[in-house]
Amino acid sequence: MNKNLIRNLAIIAHVDHGKTTLVDGMLKQSGIFHEKQVVEERVMDRNDLERERGITIMAKNTAVQYSQYKLNIVDTPGHADFGGEVERIVQMVDGVLLLVDAFEGPMPQTRFVLRKALEAGLAPIVVINKIDRLHARPKEVVDEVLDLFIELEASDAQLEFPVIYTNARTGTATLEPDTPGTDLKPLFDMIVENIPAPAGDPQAPLQLGVTLIDYDPYLGRQAIGRIHNGIIQVKEEVAVLKAGGETQRQRVTGLFVFSGLKKIPVEKATTGDIVVVTGLLDINVGNTIADLENPVPLSFVSIDEPTMAVAFHVNKSPFAGQEGTYVTSRKLGERLFRELESDVSLRVAGTDTPDTFLVSGRGELHLSILIENLRREGYEFEISRPQVVERVIDGVRSEPVEELTLEIPEEYVGIVMERLGSRKSELINMQHKGDGLVRLVFHIPTRGLFGYRSEFMTDTKGLGIIHHAFHHYAPYQGDINTRSRGSLVAFENGDSTTYGLENAQERGELFVGPGVPVYRGMVVGEHSRPGDLVINVCKKKQLSNMRSSTSEISAKLTPPRPMSLEQCMEFIADDELLEVTPKSLRMRKQSL
């Protein structure tokens, strides 16, 4: 295809501002689906975890035809934890749609993803979405976006960004917020006019940068990337240039381009095309597929280093091996190192002990998604409390600091400030948003956020909104006590009983109900005071001819607190582990 008729763009935004919903609308209006076809919402989020949580985790490619133009679109994650996906996507595209909520305005991750796009010199289009929201303030939000561009030192050309207003859910776009739109045609026109055609020379030697890796059970590893120069053909021999200067001679067995949600096989592709290449062994993100006679590598974008680490151990609890399929250190190690092939922002390292691996990622969500994927695949293991990745900068011990943004009703400002004060936070900005809401922006050590989310939800009666993203490294700020209460620890092996739990619940909040198998050293609840307390939740009421065995029915038990994976990771102390199996999450003391 003529490269002047191609537009390569990414959609970037803060989480939940409507990227995937907008892509849905673009796909539907470009005629990808036939009229009677039933299409589910957020069709791009194909992974089970993405659909369950309503977030995008992996960047996805699609392509739509508009008039004679082909628009290659990449839907990127909004969470900073998956920023590695965004960082490498900028190499694939020439422009970005920056989506901003018409009520919330720019948020922490908006700043993060926009900074990456501006640094790469991409042409921006600002899309103010959700203009139908109650209290939407599109004009003010445009001013806030301009301030953000200036703050991030955008070039003069980037500061002249065009603006369009959309309602992604109804699939409409308009150039004026007060004029209702009828379809997304104004957005398509703006993309064609403002996003440049791909640079590069089809006559030059081949250079294709691998940005994403996919896997197909029939075709094996698939390298996804953009052709920066030259032409690639099926069955031709190419040079695969790896990090460290290694060159491999390999043959292309399959070549595909995107059309809607499908991959269409083609015989050849040219400069500017985003393609899927199959048949290349051991190919990884960051490799260059080049001309065999004249192999020239492409420079790869720098990926921010991880800020948080977790130790993965082989499960050694009394219940080890009962629920998982893969339980050995060899299987666990193989799976963790395999993850590195597709996740560029993850690091895995062996330790002095053969059954322990140190896994570093971009945040709690990044690591918890990996853990959840492993348990769904049948792996069983234990993890330690997350630790921050410290650095020595100019001879000074330094730690990661997050920008924390909270939106809360006014009456909760006092309690929130008090809680965050003890976690070494610093208030950067306070803004009254009307309607009784206040936006607070803090800088806080990453350590200070451990365990804070559940505390925040309790303090604000579930009405607060919390977001955070890595901001910078700063000198270590001293000890932080993020947990003011101890654990309730089981005294013996057995099944929990109503009688034992009734006595235990007076000492704190329980995580288990009656009839749950427990073992000595397992954490079964949160103590109401500092320090751990050993309790017997398996205790049975002694029966005699004076007591009826049915008298237990009258016992009044408070329902146990359900603990998600992230809540367990936040809760465990330094001397505790989280046992993860396909069926269960159990917290326990390291020493039983």
- Residue 255 corresponds to which amino acid? L
Query: Residue 442 sits in a domain of what CATH number?
Result: 3.30.70.240
Query: Residue 534 sits in a domain of what CATH number?
Result: 2.40.50.250
Give the span between the Cα atoms of 441 and 502, in whole angstroms. Answer: 42
Q: Which residues pair with 264 in a beta bridge?
A: 257
137: helix, strand or coil: coil
Question: Parallel, antiparallel, or unpaired for β 465-475 and 508-510?
Answer: unpaired
> Of 194, 217, 242, which one is at a domain's C-terminal end?
194
Residue 353, pLDDT above cutoff 60? yes
Give the span between the Cα atoms of 72 and 8, in whole angstroms. Answer: 5
Q: What are phi and psi of 189, to 5 degrees?
A: -60, -40
Query: Which residue ranges are tagged as binding site?
Result: 16-21, 129-132
pLDDT of 401 reads 93
State whether 153 and 181 are in the same domain: yes
Residue 182 token pair: 């009828």
pLDDT of 92 reads 85
Q: Please, are residues 438 and 429 in contact by the beta-carbon 8 Å criterion? A: no
State whether 84 and 135 are in the same domain: yes
- Average confidence (pLDDT) over 109-126: 84
Task: Average the pLDDT over each of 105-109, 187-191, 567-571 and give the range with the smallest value.
Answer: 105-109
* Domain total in the chain: 5
Residue 128 token pair: 């103010």
- Average confidence (pLDDT) over 484-506: 90
Task: Average the pLDDT over each of 110-114, 247-251, 260-264, 334-338 and give the range with the smallest value.
Answer: 110-114
Complete DSSP assignment for 192-236: HHHSPPP-S-TTSPPEEEEEEEEEETTTEEEEEEEEEESEEETT-
State whether 37 and 161 are in the same domain: yes
Would residue 302 count as lying in a domain?
no
Q: Which residues pair with 127 in a beta bridge?
A: 99, 164
Residue 200 token pair: 């590069």
Would residue 480 count as lying in a domain?
no
Q: What band does 26 get if pLDDT is binned at 50, 70 and 90?
A: confident
Full residue range of the structural domain in which residue 553 is found = 487-569
Residue 33, pLDDT above cutoff 60? no
State whether 176 and 78 are in the same domain: yes
Query: Whose CA is closest to 537, among 588, 586, 496, 486?
Result: 496
> Of 194, 222, 243, which one is at a domain's C-terminal end?
194
502: helix, strand or coil: helix
Query: Residue 250 sits in a domain of what CATH number?
Result: 2.40.30.10
Q: Pick the residue with more confidence: 14 or 547?
A: 14
Residues in the chain: 592
Would residue 272 count as lying in a domain?
yes
State whether 218 and 320 are in the same domain: no
Q: What band does 177 get if pLDDT is binned at 50, 70 and 90?
A: confident
State whether 231 and 341 are in the same domain: no
Q: What band does 238 get if pLDDT is binned at 50, 70 and 90?
A: very high
pLDDT of 80 reads 53
Would residue 155 count as lying in a domain?
yes
State whether 32 and 152 are in the same domain: yes
Would residue 482 count as lying in a domain?
no
State whether 228 and 319 are in the same domain: no
Query: Residue 328 sits in a domain of what CATH number?
Result: 3.30.70.870
Would residue 583 count as lying in a domain?
no
pLDDT above 70 coverage of the chain, percent: 89
For residue 306, what are the contacts with CB-CB under 8 A and spacing of at least 6? 345, 346, 347, 360, 361, 362, 389
Q: Please, are residues 319 and 519 in contact by the beta-carbon 8 Å criterion? A: yes
> Of 441, 475, 509, which one is at a domain's C-terminal end?
475
Q: Please, are residues 33 and 64 in contact by the beta-carbon 8 Å criterion? A: no
Q: What band does 89 get if pLDDT is binned at 50, 70 and 90?
A: confident
State whether 88 and 175 are in the same domain: yes
- Average confidence (pLDDT) over 555-568: 86
Q: What band does 458 get if pLDDT is binned at 50, 70 and 90?
A: confident
State whether 382 and 402 are in the same domain: no
Query: Which residue ranges are tagged as binding site for GTP?
Result: 16-21, 129-132
Q: What band does 37 get if pLDDT is binned at 50, 70 and 90?
A: very low
Residue 548, pLDDT above cutoff 90? no
Query: Residue 96 sits in a domain of what CATH number?
Result: 3.40.50.300
Query: Which tens digit of pLDDT belongs to each residue from 423-441?
Result: 899 999 998 877 788 989 9
Would residue 248 count as lying in a domain?
yes
State whether 49 and 129 are in the same domain: yes
Would residue 512 count as lying in a domain?
yes
94: helix, strand or coil: coil
State whether 63 and 169 are in the same domain: yes
